A and B are shown apart, each in its own frame.
Chain A
Amino acid sequence: MFNRKFMEELFKPQELYSKKALRTVYERLAHASIMKLNQASMDKLYDLMTMAFKYQVLLCPRPKDVLLVTFNHLDTIKGFIRDSPTILQQVDETLRQLTEIYGGLSAGEFQLIRQTLLIFFQDLHIRVSMFLKDKVQNNNGRFVLPVSGPVPWGTEVPGLIRMFNNKGEEVKRIEFKHGGNYVPAPKEGSFELYGDRVLKLGTNMYSVNQPVETHVSGSSKNLASWTQESIAPNPLAKEELNFLARLMGGMEIKKPSGPEPGFRLNLFTTDEEEEQAALTRPEELSYEVINIQATQDQQRSEELARIMGEFEITEQPRLSTSKGDDLLAMMDEL
């Protein structure tokens, strides 16, 4: 995903994607890995991503903070791939490009970017159980906008009126009750390659100790918990991965027993639940994967899709002599 050609395409100035175009890109990205999802799980994942993204953009204290949110995303990704220098370098390169292109924009330009992003999310009120539980989202699907806490960097705490004379000297000062409960901003987040971003938006929502339930659209079904952020490397991890690779047919030993290579990710606890969810999913939330639009954004997403097509995992398993590092080497190839 951080492949240079793909990134170049993303960084070209372009109109906001339509919902269909983004969904296409998202599906291709998800399926470019060894993971497969069926329609119901894909819908659920996409909805979760969309609402989390809306939350992050809406709650940004200042418009420029959308850049800090992006940096938080990339910092977390760097944590996952810390042992892979090639990809790490690509992510760092992406960070540099972001800084180069967006670092110098004015506050007004960021306001425009933020307002444009909010157009994409307008009228989306899908309820996410994690947000409901943490009280950041109301039961009607709207996000809570707190009127307390630190003000954005560059903003003063409301409540003061200062009056000046012709020479610019302060002659009078009055306070008024503004209704909120704000405090000054502690410090500004860093826009450097490495640094304390200060802002928590965009950090891993799931990095807590207890397993977290995440469902979407208020259904009462339970989900298996997502993986938590692991700090210590697991010595069995390599063995587990190789076992998985053997099941997938990525090793020389045996062909896959199932009809297709790769494995399928099911976001529900059983296959039956998944089918049931697909049937009961509200109509307006379904997306067509195939789009027949003759507009420019379709061309863009086709271009992206073409580049992503080069990422597809090849059907033939790669023959190799050394067992231990096979899977990891194969993943590096993607």
Chain B
Amino acid sequence: MFRWERSIPLRGSAAALCNNLSVLQLPARNLTYFGVVHGPSAQLLSAAPEGVPLAQRQLHAKEGAGVSPPLITQVHWCVLPFRVLLVLTSHRGIQMYESNGYTMVYWHALDSGDASPGTWSGRVLVFDIPAKGPNIVLSEELAGHQMPITDIATEPAQGQLWQGIIAAGYGNGQVHLYEATTGNLHVQINAHARAICALDLASEVGKLLSAGEDTFVHIWKLSRNPESGYIEVEHCHGECVADTQLCGARFCDSSGNSFAVTGYDLAEIRRFSSV
């Protein structure tokens, strides 16, 4: 069971984008960072464990002189083995910053026909990121998916998936679980009545969080059948955020005991924790 915790107010409401919430836990500093997109700016804020907000600032995607700032499509903290980068994507390009958002280290401009990686065009861009410094290189482009995908929860940092399982959320409200080695579909969940906007994994316990535009958040437990080894799943918990079209959801800790959601027109981050 989960209960509704103290919400964190935002300066601007969250935009109706997919995956519009990024969370970076910094247990060593007893802090959690949150990132939410509102139009042309990303709101970055830090909070103490009980959700007490500490600092908040806006980050705009930098543009050339005389051009109006683009609308941001996603903000995400990428946790890599040696460093953490803050990535901002827009229809015009991808910008990467140091994790506090103060220094830009890389800027990749997209052609006008492209979208941000891993979204509706189905293309995935892979970057080589060195341990330090700005020498980031686009290493390849994977044009795999024909169908639009709204989010994929993997763990790009370790290059591992949770026990070889890929979870994908779709625009028709389904969650699919694939065997990473074979690419076979093993589980199909009729999870939501509208498009899924975000997925997140709590790696320590194999819990999956899905949020949809139907106002619901669901938590699932992934496992493997001890005999066949096939992927299995069970539903743990569902929560309804009334009259709110959700646009982002993340676990706030790797054991899946707390999570946060954002919604279109909602000027706060709603937090839930287990009792």
Contact = CB atoms under 8 A, between A and B. Distances in A.
A109 B171 CA distance: 11
A163 B243 contact: no
Interface residues of A, number: 50
B238 interface: yes
B190 interface: yes
A278 to B, nearest CB: 28
A143 B191 contact: no
Given A107-B171, A155-B173, A158-B190, A166 B182 contact: yes
Contact of A111 (B15, B122, B148, B232): B148
Contacts of B12: 123
Given A108-B148, A119-B39, A161 B265 contact: no
- Interface range on chain B (Cβ under 8 Å from partner): 35 or more
A171 to B, nearest CB: 7
A112 B39 contact: no
Interface stretch (B28-36, B46-54, B81-89, B212-220): B212-220
A103 interface: no
A51 B187 CA distance: 41
Interface stretch (A172-180, A265-273, A325-333): A172-180
B235 A168 contact: no
B184 interface: yes
A145 B243 contact: yes
Contacts of A58: 245, 264
Given A158-B191, A180-B214, A109 B120 contact: yes
Interface string B11-22: 011011100000
Contacts of A114: 16
A63 B148 CA distance: 13
Given A164-B187, A180-B214, A147 B240 contact: yes
B243 A165 contact: no
A68 B13 CA distance: 28
Given A112-B115, A156-B172, A165-B228, A61 B190 contact: no
B195 A122 contact: no
A119 B232 contact: no
Contacts of B187: 161-164
B16 A159 contact: no
A143 B232 CA distance: 37
B244 interface: yes
- Counting chain B CB atoms within 10 Å of each CB, which of A109, A122, A174, A182 scores highest? A122
B79 interface: no
Contact of B238 (A62, A165, A174, A179): A179
B172 A154 contact: yes
Interface string B171-204: 1111000000010111111111111000000000
A230 to B, nearest CB: 36
B264 A122 contact: yes
Contacts of A178: 191-192, 216, 218, 235, 238
Contacts of B141: none
A118 B245 CA distance: 11
Nearest to B91: A112
B120 A177 contact: no
B252 to A, nearest CB: 22
B185 A164 contact: yes
A147 B120 CA distance: 26
B171 A168 contact: no
Contacts of A97: none
B231 interface: yes
A277 B205 CA distance: 59
A177 B119 contact: no
A286 interface: no
Nearest to B229: A166
Nearest to B212: A158
Contacts of B232: 163, 172
B190 A142 contact: no
Interface of B: 12-13, 15-17, 38-39, 68, 71, 115, 119-122, 147-148, 150, 171-174, 182, 184-195, 214-216, 218, 228, 230-235, 238-240, 242-245, 264-265
5 contacts: A118-B15, A145-B243, A161-B234, A168-B185, A179-B216
Given A118-B16, A179-B216, A295-B68, 19 more contacts: A62-B195, A108-B122, A108-B171, A109-B120, A111-B195, A112-B120, A115-B15, A119-B39, A138-B243, A144-B243, A156-B190, A162-B189, A163-B186, A164-B184, A164-B185, A168-B184, A168-B185, A176-B235, A178-B191
